[in-house]
Every structure is written in structure tokens, then in C-alpha cells.
């Protein structure tokens, strides 16, 4: 399959012209692209520095209201995928702003979404009838086709979070649907903590049965996740490549919280110098705490809190935290690769 093709002669070109009339092309001219020796992603390693972006994000609050925008978000578009509204080939990421007194109206769509809270404590999201207060570092899920709206207290502060969606994948599958709720806000049946109390203590309601891949827990509070990393570190559980890394799970199944996106939280203790690794995942990282550096392929970035960076499939990644503890949130397309038997990892 790797044989080099000779330069097409005139008769071959004429033949290609004939079959083109019937909407056909020769496989042998594109086989090396369809069946490559290794992944050849179009996305590139990139970083979005929050300190440079924050003023622009806040300015968007003067440009358009949350109600008019539906979702006031600045998309993080990968430089290798211009015009795609994508941070990787099948993942979307954006920074969403909601100001005091605003409501981002309720709707639902087939695209699943995660929220990772960057700054501010006065906002909430409502998902499927449960209102969930937001705090920095919280991981919140919005499963496919669930009603969701966002709001901020009138006496609150600007609140920013990182959105992650499988929107590019849904577009590739031609499976996108969206519906607006009749009112700006959906009815609230439960307040924050309901889903955690029912499912977040290694217990579940007696008659609960998992009906789909979505986690019954809608919010994973940062303080609990952070504590788990710290305690594992004190117990000596340190990986030479990842530091201390855990994945968020669906407690009812042990699987991923949502079907198409895998979320993670990891601690790189002060002085950590990770070994290089690469996987077939496309990964988006958000810095929660600390300053450090990362090398992705041939590119190196220094990062600080709230920065977002991404790593393409099969590009070597090396993480370091030379001066202080670092906590990283990340999400990837690992569930899809798992399901299709396409996940591969190489550690050096």
C-alpha cells in the first residue's frame, strides 16, 4: 500500500477524466491518505492564554447580551482547523461569559456538553430540572437532549466557564437537532446536591437502573476531586508520565460520565518532570492551579491558571511543574476510541 505511484501518463489522466463523469475516483491515488501509516491530524498544538483573552471576553458582555446571543461564547478554534468552530477534529471548546442578572435561555440539543468553571461563584446552571450553583473547578455535565439554561444573581459577579461539546462529531454524523424551551427558564424541581446525595456516596436509590451512558450526577464539586488527588499524592501514588491523574466516572456504570467525552483531573506536584507519552486521543487541557510547562510535538508552552491548550492525536506530550503544584483539567475523545477499538498509547 506504500508503493510510490509513477507520474500519470496522458492515457491514465484521460481515464481519470472518464470515470470522473460518473462521480468515481481511483483509490490508488488516495490510498495513502485514507490508510496512513500513522495518524495525520490537521489540528496543531496550540495554547490560549487567559490573561490575554480575559479583557476581550469581558468586552463581549458589552457587544451582545446573553439573551440575544443565546450563549455568549468565544470559540477556541484550532489554528489548523480554520473556519471549523473546533478545537480538535471532533471536539468543540469555548469560553462562556454570563454577567450579573442575566439569563441564558433554556434549550436542548443532541450535542452533549460539559462545563468546567473558570472564575466566579454567583452563577448557576439548570439541567433537567435541577438547579446547580457553579464554583471554580466544578465539573458539570449536560447530557444529550436535556433542557438547560444558565443564570447569574443580580448582585453577583461575572462568571466564566469552559464549554466542551461533541458538536463537530455530531455534525460529521449529520445527527444534530435543537429545540428551544417555551420560557427562558425551565421549571426547577430540585436544588443543588440532589443528584450527588442520590448517587455520589457509593450508593444509589434501591430501584435505580442505568438507562443510558449518562451519569446521574450532574456536578462533580472541585473540592472533593482536588482532595482525592492530594491524598493519593501523600500516599505515594505518582505516575512518571501523568503525576496523579483520575478520571471522572458515571457511578452507576463505572464508565464515562457522558458517551463521547472523557474528563480527567490530574496533579503535577512541585518539581515534577514527566516522561513523554503519546496516545490516539485528541485532548484539551485547562489549567486549574499553578504554573508549569508542556511540550506537545515540537512546540513548547509555558502555562498559568485558566490557560487552555490542546494536544493532537499521536503527538508526544511532556508535562512539567518545576516551581509549584499544578492541577490540570482535561477532556478527550477517548470513549469513541475505546468503543471502536482505536485507542493506542506509547510511553517512553
Contact predicate 29/299, CB 8 Å: no
**Number of domains into which the chain is organized:** 1
pLDDT band at 4 (very low <50, low <70, confident <90, very high): low
In a domain, 22, yes or no: no
* Residue 234 scores a pLDDT above 70: yes
pLDDT at 1: 47
| Mean pLDDT confidence for 43-66 | 98
| Mean pLDDT confidence for 194-199 | 93
| Mean pLDDT confidence for 158-187 | 98
Contact predicate 96/86, CB 8 Å: no
Give pLDDT tens digits for 248-280.
Answer: 999 999 999 999 999 999 999 999 999 999 999
Share of the chain above pLDDT 90, in %: 93
In a domain, 31, yes or no: no
Residue 243 CA to residue 327 CA, distance in Å, equals 10
pLDDT at 333: 98
pLDDT at 210: 86
| Mean pLDDT confidence for 309-337 | 98
Give pLDDT tens digits for 106-122.
Answer: 999 999 999 999 999 99
* Residue 235 scores a pLDDT above 60: yes
Residue 267 CB partners (closer than 8 Å, separation 6+): 229, 230, 232, 233, 243, 244, 245, 325, 326, 327
Residue 331 CA to residue 112 CA, distance in Å, equals 13
In a domain, 188, yes or no: yes
Residue 12 CA to residue 8 CA, distance in Å, equals 6
pLDDT at 7: 62
In a domain, 5, yes or no: no
In a domain, 133, yes or no: yes
* Residue 64 scores a pLDDT above 50: yes
* Residue 2 scores a pLDDT above 60: no
- For the chain, the three-class secondary structure string (H helix, E strand, C coil) is CCCCCCCCCHHHHHHHHHHHCCCCCCHHHCHHHHCCCCCCCCCCCEEECHHHHHHHHHHHHHHCCHHHHCCCEEECCCCCCCCCCCCCCCCEEEEEEECCCCEEEEEEECCCEEEEEEECCCEEEEECCEEEECCCCCEEEECCCCCEEEEECCCCCCEEEEEEECHHHHHHCCCCCEEECCCCCCCCCECCCHHHHHHCCCCCCCCCCCCCCCCCCCEECHHHHHHHHHHHHHCCCCECCCEEEEECCCCCCCCCCCCCCEEEEEEECCCEECCCEEECCCEEEEEEECCEEEEECCEEEEECCCCEEEECCCCCEEEEECCCCEEEEEEECHHHHHHHCCCCEEEC
In a domain, 66, yes or no: yes
Give pLDDT tens digits for 78-108.
Answer: 999 999 999 999 999 999 999 999 999 999 9
pLDDT band at 8 (very low <50, low <70, confident <90, very high): low
Residue 215 sits in a domain whose CATH number is 2.60.120.10
315 φ, ψ (degrees, to nearest 5): -90, 130
Grid look-up 441564558 returns 104
User: What does pLDDT average to over the chain?
Assistant: 96
Closest CA to 317 of 332, 304, 306: 332
* Terminal Cα-to-Cα distance of the chain (whole angstroms): 29
In a domain, 29, yes or no: no
* Residue 166 scores a pLDDT above 70: yes
pLDDT at 3: 53
DSSP 80: T
* Residue 217 scores a pLDDT above 70: yes
pLDDT at 6: 61
The DSSP bridge partners found for residue 321 are 272
Share of the chain above pLDDT 70, in %: 98
The residue segments making up the domain with residue 93 are 46-347
In a domain, 123, yes or no: yes
Amino acid at each position: 500500500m506504500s508503493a510510490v505511484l509513477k507520474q500519470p501518463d496522458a492515457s491514465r489522466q484521460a481515464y481519470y477524466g472518464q470515470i470522473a463523469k460518473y462521480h468515481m475516483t481511483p483509490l490508488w491515488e488516495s490510498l495513502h491518505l485514507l490508510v496512513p501509516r500513522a495518524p495525520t491530524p490537521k489540528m496543531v498544538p496550540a495554547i490560549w492564554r487567559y490573561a490575554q483573552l480575559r479583557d476581550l471576553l469581558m468586552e463581549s458582555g458589552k457587544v451582545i447580551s446573553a439573551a440575544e446571543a443565546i450563549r455568549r461564547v468565544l470559540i477556541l478554534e484550532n489554528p489548523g482547523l480554520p473556519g471549523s468552530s473546533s478545537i480538535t477534529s471532533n471536539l468543540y471548546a469555548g469560553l462562556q461569559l454570563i454577567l450579573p442578572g442575566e439569563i441564558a435561555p433554556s434549550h436542548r440539543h443532541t450535542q452533549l456538553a460539559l462545563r468546567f468553571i473558570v472564575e466566579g461563584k454567583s452563577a448557576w446552571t439548570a439541567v433537567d430540572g435541577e438547579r446547580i450553583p457553579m464554583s471554580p473547578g466544578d465539573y458539570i455535565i449536560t447530557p444529550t437532549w436535556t433542557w438547560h439554561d444558565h443564570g447569574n444573581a443580580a448582585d453577583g459577579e461575572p462568571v466564566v466557564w469552559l464549554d466542551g461539546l461533541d458538536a463537530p462529531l455530531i455534525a460529521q454524523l449529520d445527527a444534530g437537532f435543537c429545540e428551544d424551551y417555551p420560557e427562558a427558564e425551565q421549571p426547577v424541581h430540585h436544588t443543588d446536591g440532589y443528584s450527588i446525595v442520590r448517587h455520589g456516596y457509593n450508593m444509589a436509590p434501591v430501584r435505580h437502573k442505568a438507562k443510558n451512558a449518562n451519569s446521574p450526577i450532574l456536578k462533580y464539586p472541585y473540592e472533593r476531586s482536588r482532595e482525592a488527588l492530594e491524598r493519593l499524592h501523600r500516599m505515594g501514588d505518582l505516575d512518571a508520565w501523568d503525576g496523579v491523574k483520575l478520571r471522572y466516572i458515571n457511578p452507576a456504570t463505572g464508565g464515562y460520565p457522558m458517551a463521547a467525552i472523557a474528563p480527567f483531573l490530574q496533579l503535577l506536584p512541585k518539581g515534577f518532570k514527566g516522561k513523554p507519552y503519546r496516545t490516539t486521543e485528541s485532548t484539551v487541557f485547562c489549567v486549574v492551579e499553578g504554573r508549569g510547562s508542556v511540550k506537545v510535538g515540537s512546540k513548547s508552552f509555558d502555562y498559568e491558571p485558566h490557560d487552555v491548550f490542546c494536544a493532537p492525536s499521536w503527538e508526544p506530550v511532556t508535562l512539567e511543574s518545576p516551581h509549584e503544584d499544578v492541577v490540570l483539567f482535561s477532556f478527550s475523545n477517548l470513549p469513541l476510541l475505546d468503543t471502536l477499538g482505536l485507542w493506542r498509547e506509547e510511553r517512553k
